Every structure is written in structure tokens, then in C-alpha cells.
Structure 1
Amino acid sequence: MLWIIIFLVVAGFLAGLMQSVAGLASLVSYPALLIVGVPPVIANVTNTTALIFSGIGSLISSSKELKGHCKRLSFFIALSLIGSLGGSYLLLHLPSASFEKVVPFFIFGAGILLLPSSRKKRLVSGSELRQERDLQSPLKLIASSICIILVGGYTGYFGAAGGVLFLAILSAITDEEFHIVNAMKNVITFAGNLTATCIFIFKSHIAWHYVIPMGVGLLAGGYVGPVIVRHVNIHLLRTLIAFAAFGLALYLLVEAY
């Protein structure tokens, strides 16, 4: 049992880093729970619950980046929670077999989306004025709101790389630097995970004895991640994570089929 605790703490720390940097915690935390013998759907529910700790760590560490963005961030959170409620409902009512078969495609898609997202910010950073006009466009606002709701639904259902999708959307509708957009993404995913967990507590089974050790690692990793974002080449890091996502997707695809 001791090795399981150590394994989950380490996996949680790595997952917390990946969550707070690129929104890819579930590429580590979800497989880690499968490795220790947790069934797929319960592993997903337990993973969502544990990710709350990563959100707490990121919130504490990102207070500087979040200052002055509460009003706009609250609007984004409200939209994502609408989707998260729907995604959580789907998770609880779809059969386990279908869940196992669809997960590899989610992860593979996340890897694809991660690659262009790192290039996108270079283009976006040189067109801040155009972004500001787009943000004021009613059509753009409606489209981006729908996207946030849909990604919130995906986060409530499974959530692997959901943070990457939020990064892409927020980069398109704001003119903020990456470290600020990343901090906003961390808050939105935290709110979604917290809402989904509240539902799972009453509607599903959570393996709490695995949540605690993984949560310790996630808390530490979530705190360290925003600090790293301020100092490293984030584009290279996210590209490396994308290729890791492809490898994991291929592995889970073989296992499922």
C-alpha cells in the first residue's frame, strides 16, 4: 500500500504541473488511477475530484495574474459550469464500455489541438487591437460563449486536455499575455471540477483513499506550475506534452479495442 501512496503523490505532482501549465493533468492522473486498479468510470470520477487540489494550488500561486480580471472571469466560469453540469450527467448515464472506447480519441484530439495552440499565441500577440474589436462583436461573443459551454461539458464528462481548449478560446477573445490567460484557464477548470465533484458525491462512487495522496501531489504541482510558466519557453513544453498525448492515446486505443 505504501508504494501506491508514493506513486500517486508523484503522479499527482506531475499531473498538477501539467494541469497548471497546459491543462493536461488527466494524461498522467487518469492512467495512474487505472494502474493501481481503479475501474475506468470510477477512475474518471476520482480523478475529477482530485484535480480540485491542483486548482487550489494554482489559485494561490496565480493571485498576481488574476488581479483585476474577476468580472470577466466570473462570466467565463458561469458559462463553463453550465456545460460542466451537462457533461457530468452524461458521464453518469453512459455505459462504461462506451466510455473506455471514446477516451483515446479525446486524448488524441487534445494533442492535435495543443500543437497549433502554441503557434497561435505568436500570431495573436501581434494583433491585440483586432482582438479587442472582435471581443466587442456580438457574433464573436455568442460563438465564444457557446464554445466555452461545450468545453465545459467536455470537462465535466472526461476533461483530458480540456484546459488546452480553454486556452485556445481565451487566447482568441482576450488580449492578455499567456501567463494571465493560463491563470484564468486554471480557475475555470477548477470551478468545473468542483461542480462536477459535488454531483459525483451524491450520484456516483469516489475512491477517496486515492484522492488524498494524489491530491497532495496535485496541490504542490498546481502551485509550482504557474511559477514555471513565468520563466520557461512554454511553446516547447506544450509541444512535448502534445507528443506524449499521442503516445498515451495510442496505448489506450490498443487497450480499448
Structure 2
Amino acid sequence: MTLLEQLAIVLAGLGAGIATSSIGVASLVSFPVLIALGVPPIAASSSNTVGLVPAGVTGTLGYRRELAGRRRLVWSVVALSGLFAIAGALLLLQLPSDVFESLVPWLILFACLLVGTQPRISAYLKRRKEAATGEAAAGDRTEMTPALAAGTAACGVYGGYFGAGQGVMMVAVLAFGLDLSLAVISALRTLAVFASNVVATVIFLFIAPLQWDVIGLLAVGSIVGGWIGAQIGRHLPAGVFRALVVVAGVVVAVSYWI
């Protein structure tokens, strides 16, 4: 690996760390770089997951104010994300690589679609419920519900299978299920991705193809990027957030097809 390639991976880790704590598209930054440098898709995915764990640590610390006072919700998100990431990680290692590669752009586009349409869908469902019951909507939703638990579990499976876009999907699920600020949702999203990555990492250490030079370089960049991303995530307007996610996702998905 040349010095320029090493620098590219460190910068990819930095960008992915910032993205994971701010807009939740970490692997959309780093995964394509690894593929472009010739890392095989399965090894790139597993190495990318392990290399971005430090970003979860610093990103979660950066959001500690947003997570304060929400212990039950936080632990519910962590437990569901971590537990179901086990199934996703095992699924990744059982499916043929051609199946994995063909799913990548569709999974990314689906994640972007959820984020882009969530405000309109939520508003529509709220109006429909109010029209059906003849009553105003109940108070703010701030705790885990069965529907939110199911969505969080599904995102955990997805995260263990293919990390790219998990943060985007988690934002959509949390936004559908909770009436909380974008900063709090971003904090919970960062924590959920971190939990999934930790569980997947433990499994990958034993049964996945890993490239430790790639992991180390990603970690160097991501540990700084995670903290920076959390500071950005606190102040990122919702409209800007959604636009960035959709544009990034479409560009990466199209690049796969090309």
C-alpha cells in the first residue's frame, strides 16, 4: 500500500467518523474508498465496521448531554441494536458475495428514501389518525414502543449485515417513533450504530476476513471524526441533514451501477 493510499484511508476514516455522528452515512464515505483501492467487498465491509468503532466512542461522548436523562430509552436502543446485529453479521458471512454486491445500491437508496420522505409520511399518518379518532394527537412520544423496538431490531440486523446506511435507516425509524429533537435522534442513532459495530466486530474477529492495516488507518481518522461530527450534529438543520443524506446516497448508489 502506497503512502497516498494510506492517507486516503485515514481521510476516509475521518470523513466517515464525522458522518457517523452528524448525518449517519459513515460507510457511504469510507466503504467506496476501500472498494476503489481494491479491497474485496466482504473484507472491505467487515474491516470498515471494525475501523469505525472508535468513531462510535467519541461520537457518543460528544452527545452525552443529549443522552442525559434518557437511560431507559438509551439502554433499549443499545440492547436491541447490539443483539440483532449478531444475526446480521452471521447473515453477511453466509450469503454469496454476488448477492451482497447486488444488494448494496438498493439498500442505500432505500435508506435515503426513508429519510427523505419521513416528515411527509409522519404528518400524513398523524392527520389520518386525528381524523379517524376526532381527537388531537396524544402527548410527545419519548419512550420505546413495540413498533419502535421492531424497527430498531431490523436496523440492528441491517447494521450487522452491511453497515452502510444503517445510521440513515435508524434516523428514519427513530423519527417515525419518537417526538424528539433531531439532536437527540442523532445521538441515539450514533449510539445504535456503535452498539451494532461493537457486536459485529467481536464476531468478525473470529470468522470474517479482516485487513488490519486498513482497520488501523480507518481508526486513526475515525476517532477524531466521531467527536467533530457530534459537534456538527447538534446544530445541523433538519432540511440540510435530509438533503445531504439523499444526495450522498444517490451519488454512491449510482456509482455502484456505473
TM-score (norm 2): 0.88
The CA distance in 1 between the partners of 2:121 and 2:239, in whole Å, is 10
Q: 1:27 to 1:118 in 2, by over 3 A?
A: farther
The CA distance in 2 between the partners of 1:22 and 1:232, in whole Å, is 9
Match of 1:202 in 2: 206
Displacement after TM superposition at 1:98 (Å):
1.2
* Alpha-carbon displacement from aligned partner over 1:194-220 (angstroms, at most 9, x marks no partner): 000100101112111111111111111
Q: 1:131 to 1:24 in 2, by over 3 A?
A: farther
Percent of pairs identical after alignment? 32
Q: 1:212 to 1:67 in 2, by over 3 A?
A: same
Match of 1:115 in 2: 116
Q: Contact 1:135/1:141 (CA < 8 Å) preserved in 2?
A: no
Displacement after TM superposition at 1:78 (Å):
1.3
Q: CA RMSD in A?
A: 2.6
Q: 177, 180, 203: which is aligned to 2:181?
A: 177
The CA distance in 1 between the partners of 2:176 and 2:109, in whole Å, is 22
Q: 1:117 to 1:218 in 2, by over 3 A?
A: farther
The CA distance in 1 between the partners of 2:253 and 2:14, in whole Å, is 21
Match of 1:193 in 2: 197
Displacement after TM superposition at 1:132 (Å):
4.2
Displacement after TM superposition at 1:233 (Å):
2.5
Q: Which amino acid aligns with 2:19?
A: M
TM-score (norm 1): 0.88
Is 1:152 matched up with 2:156? yes
Match of 1:240 in 2: 244
* Alpha-carbon displacement from aligned partner over 1:39-88 (angstroms, at most 9, x marks no partner): 00000000111121110120221111111112221112211223211111
Is 1:229 matched up with 2:230? no
Is 1:48 matched up with 2:49? yes
Q: Which runs of 4+ in 1 moved over 3 A?
A: 117-124, 129-136
Q: 1:177 to 1:92 in 2, by over 3 A?
A: same
The CA distance in 1 between the partners of 2:176 and 2:138, in whole Å, is 7
Displacement after TM superposition at 1:171 (Å):
2.2
Counterpart secondary structure, 1:42: helix
Is 1:142 matched up with 2:146? yes
Displacement after TM superposition at 1:119 (Å):
6.1
Q: 1:108 to 1:23 in 2, by over 3 A?
A: same
Counterpart secondary structure, 2:52: helix
Match of 1:59 in 2: 60
Q: Which amino acid aligns with 2:159?
A: T
Match of 1:38 in 2: 39
Is 1:212 matched up with 2:216? yes
Q: Contact 2:115/2:168 (CA < 8 Å) preserved in 1?
A: yes
Match of 1:10 in 2: 11
The CA distance in 1 between the partners of 2:252 and 2:22, in whole Å, is 18
Gaps of at least 5 residues in structure 1 are: none
Q: Contact 2:23/2:233 (CA < 8 Å) preserved in 1?
A: no
Q: Contact 1:20/1:222 (CA < 8 Å) preserved in 2?
A: yes
Aligned residues between the structures: 250
Displacement after TM superposition at 1:179 (Å):
0.6
Displacement after TM superposition at 1:145 (Å):
1.3
Match of 2:97 in 1: 96
Q: 1:141 to 1:148 in 2, by over 3 A?
A: same
